[in-house]
Amino acid sequence: MNLQQEQWWADAQSDENAVILDVRTPEEFERGIIPNAINIDIYKGQGFIYSLEELDKSKTYYVYCHAGSRSAKACQVMQQLGFEKTYNLLGGISEWNGPVVEAN
């Protein structure tokens, strides 16, 4: 499900089961992230699938990338793997007006 950033961020902040997932490359991740995001690079192919399989499928995932295309694909893959609640950030971090922090 695609959400505009205001709704995406508001939902992520109010959801006690929220996980913010950044599917960009580690290099992109290092340039700045939405607070509390975890990084799983969608370009890792099967490694991406393996990493997703380790996540708690009962959580709600708020997914983003640079422009929204990779994260939309990630949401589709996650749904195929049995994740019921995945939300794509329309426009990605390139259009993000919310907080950005340095990756730890």
Catalytic residues: 65
Q: Where are the beta strands (DSSP E) in the chain?
A: 2-3, 18-22, 38-39, 60-64, 86-89
| Helix, strand or coil, per DSSP, at residue 58 | coil
Say if CB 15 and CB 59 are below 8 A apart: no
